Amino acid sequence: MKTNGARFLESLGIPFELLEYEVDPEDLSATTVAKKIGMPAEQVFKTLLTTGGPSVHVFAVIPGNAELDFKKLARAAGLRKSEMVSLKDVQPLTGYIRGGVTVFGVKKPFPVFVDETVILFDKISVSAGTRGTQLILTPADLTKGAHTPEAHA
């Protein structure tokens, strides 16, 4: 299934592979996704939208088996604090629903911070922009796509 995330990467000429899996709406965790696609959880990166205050948003892309360190993210982003965006705000801000958020082709351009462990892998998995579909790509291509000015639809 072609997703907005996949179309966005195609528009940049960034190679990727799409992997589909059966979605359990009761369990959208990255560790479950990892089991379903046959990759280690630390190689399946989840995309989280955080806020540092009114109209201040930052994406964090972290390993599926990790918890986000909000203080570390705030320091890296030059913010006083960081916390998760409320669930009701995720879709209006990104265009994606929980369990399908990706940094590719989002509604509004937000800074993207990727966990440094991404460099440990030749290929990683991130959401393709919909539940049940993952993008497999290189860490360099994730970074390239995430920091392209045209990245934001």
How many residues are given for the chain?
Answer: 153
Tens of pLDDT, residues 57-112: 999 999 999 999 999 999 999 999 999 999 999 999 999 999 999 999 998 879 99
Tens of pLDDT, residues 62-77: 999 999 999 999 999 9
Handedness of CA 71, 76, 80, 82 (dihedral sign): negative
> Which percentage of the chain shows pLDDT scores above 90?
86
Reported pTM: 0.92
| Overall average pLDDT of the 143-148 stretch | 83
Under the banding of pLDDT at 50, 70 and 90, the label for residue 148 is low
What is d(CA 78, CA 90) in angstroms, rounded to the nearest whole number? 22
Strand runs labelled E in the chain:
17-20, 45-53, 56-63, 83-84, 112-114, 124-127, 133-137
Question: Quick one: which of 118, 113, 122 has its CA closest to 146?
Answer: 113
Under the banding of pLDDT at 50, 70 and 90, the label for residue 19 is very high
What is residue 151's predicted lDDT score, i.e. its pLDDT? 40
What is residue 107's predicted lDDT score, i.e. its pLDDT? 85
